[in-house]
Amino acid sequence: MSRSTPSGRRASGSVTLSDVAKLAGVSPITVSRVLNRPELVTADTIGIVRDAIARTGYVPNLLAGGLASRRSRLVAAIFPTIANSMFAETMEALADRLGEAGYQVLLGLSGYPAAREDDLLEAILSRRPDGILLTGIIHSPGTRQRLLAAKVPVVEIWDFTPTPIDMLVGFSHEKAGAAVADHLHAKGYRRFAMIEADDDRAALRRRGFLSASARRGVTGVPVITVPAPGLLRTGREAMARLLERSPLDGFQRPDAVFCSSDALAQGVLAEVQSRGMDLPGDIAVMGFGDLDFAAHTFPALSTVRIDRRAIGTLAADALLARMDGLSGAGPSAGGGVIDIGFEVIERAST
């Protein structure tokens, strides 16, 4: 029964839309409509076609569909890493929301130094995604250019800039850092220190933290920078260094440490406890992110809450609005900027 291969290319062997059409006794385009725009087809025909689809085990080919329709139903998401739950949850929320809407997510990991940013973007653009999500702000002007040229809806997340490429869902890291300084000051602490991971957003938080500290009269704040992403281990090591260093410098020991992530703060907790020091009596600790564990460490960790899932969900919504609104020039086109804010959470560690 095998049909002879007509010419060059060998037959794929897999069921195609035409096979379904033949079995159902309709034209291929009708099958296509049943799958994509069923409202254009009568209920009877839909039944017949669905039946044929089930019988043949047909699985649509989105490569072909995407090529013909110029819509890939793919959204690319670029994160520096997902190995810390900071971004993982945003990614999950994004994937959930987009999944409901029939889109899938292509994951791009840029790594922290963002070295491969440009190559990665090229690889991604070659899939013709209908939308792109970027974590943080793109720096290479070439990359920015490419993105603009591709005319794809873009959301930048987790950061804030008045001049996004297109759309943005984020919050001000500088303000968050400043709010932490204000909080610590209000609680009566006067000798701050900071442990931060070496990434751009942490640097912004540092900047906000330091200038607000200075405004409150707290200066000479020691800062220890560790490689990104910040981990419990590196936080603990940094804290050990801090505690050992201070007396030698003639500094007094800090009475409050702001960590650029909850993971780092957890390390600080461990180091302080291992030395038998009292927390927050001897030293207060503040994290950032309000990861799920923050409320339940011992002692519970004061931190800054970011609604990480909301970032993903809102970013998905922003993209969907543009993608479903037909081509690029949809109604809500032209860069919405959403500030989701943050919230300082006071717990036992301060």
Partner DNA sequence: ACGCCTCATGATAGCGCTATCATGATCGGA
Partner DNA sequence: TCCGATCATGATAGCGCTATCATGAGGCGT
- Show the tokens assigned to 78: 């670029």
Of 177 and 280, which CB lies nearer to a second copy in the complex structure?
A: 280
| Residue 67 in contact with a second copy, rule: CB under 8 A | yes
Binding residue for a second copy, selected from 30, 32, 45, 72, defined by CB under 8 A: 72
Calpha distance 133→147 (Å, rounded): 11
| Residue 27 in contact with a second copy, rule: CB under 8 A | no
Binding residue for a second copy, selected from 105, 179, 228, 284, defined by CB under 8 A: 105
> Looking at the DSSP assignment, which residues form a beta bridge with residue 224?
195
Question: Min. distance of Cβ 66 from a second copy in angstroms?
Answer: 5
Single-letter amino acid code for the residue at 298: F
Binding residue for a second copy, selected from 51, 122, 343, 346, defined by CB under 8 A: 122
Of 2 and 12, which CB lies nearer to DNA in the complex structure?
A: 12
| Residue 333 in contact with a second copy, rule: CB under 8 A | no
Which of 257, 139, 272 lies closest to 193, judged by CA? Answer: 257
Q: Which residues 6+ apart lie within 8 Å of 35 measured at CB?
A: 60
Tally of CB atoms within 10 A around 105: 21
Calpha distance 290→135 (Å, rounded): 19
Calpha distance 48→240 (Å, rounded): 71
Among DNA, a second copy, none, partner that 72 touches (CB below 5 to 8 angstroms by kind): a second copy
Phi then psi for 115, rounded to 5 degrees?
A: -65, -50
Among a second copy, DNA, none, partner that 36 touches (CB below 5 to 8 angstroms by kind): DNA
Q: Which residue ranges make up the site for DNA (CB under 7 A)?
A: 6-12, 14, 16-18, 26-30, 32-33, 35-36, 40-42, 44-45, 58, 60-61, 64-65, 67-71
Which of 208, 219, 211, 263 lies closest to 239, judged by CA? Answer: 263
Tally of CB atoms within 10 A around 9: 7
| Residue 301 in contact with a second copy, rule: CB under 8 A | no
**For the window 222-241, what string marks contact with a second copy as x by the rule CB under 8 A?**
---------xxx--x-----
User: Which residues, numbered 179-208, are part of the site for a second copy (CB under 8 A)?
Assistant: none
| Residue 149 in contact with a second copy, rule: CB under 8 A | yes
Among a second copy, DNA, none, partner that 7 touches (CB below 5 to 8 angstroms by kind): DNA
| Residue 245 in contact with a second copy, rule: CB under 8 A | no
Three-class DSSP category at 131: strand
| Residue 88 in contact with a second copy, rule: CB under 8 A | yes
DSSP state of 279: T
User: Which residues, numbered 154-173, are part of the site for a second copy (CB under 8 A)?
Assistant: none
Calpha distance 304→9 (Å, rounded): 59
Question: Min. distance of Cβ 35 from DNA in angstroms?
Answer: 6
Calpha distance 13→11 (Å, rounded): 6
* HEC readout, 194-257: EEEECCHHHHHHHHHHHHHHHHCCCCCCCEEEECCCCCHHHHHHHHHHHHHHHHHHCCCCCCEE
- The whole-angstrom distance between residue 54's C-alpha and the CA centroid of its chain comes to 38
Among DNA, a second copy, none, partner that 336 touches (CB below 5 to 8 angstroms by kind): none
Question: Min. distance of Cβ 118 from DNA in angstroms?
Answer: 19
Single-letter amino acid code for the residue at 124: I
**For the window 260-289, what string marks contact with a second copy as x by the rule CB under 8 A?**
---x--xx-xxx-xx---------------
Residue ranges in contact with a second copy by CB under 8 A: 12, 57, 59-64, 66-67, 70, 72, 74, 81-85, 88-89, 91-92, 95-96, 99, 104-109, 120, 122-128, 146, 149-150, 231-233, 236, 263, 266-267, 269-271, 273-274, 292-293, 295-298
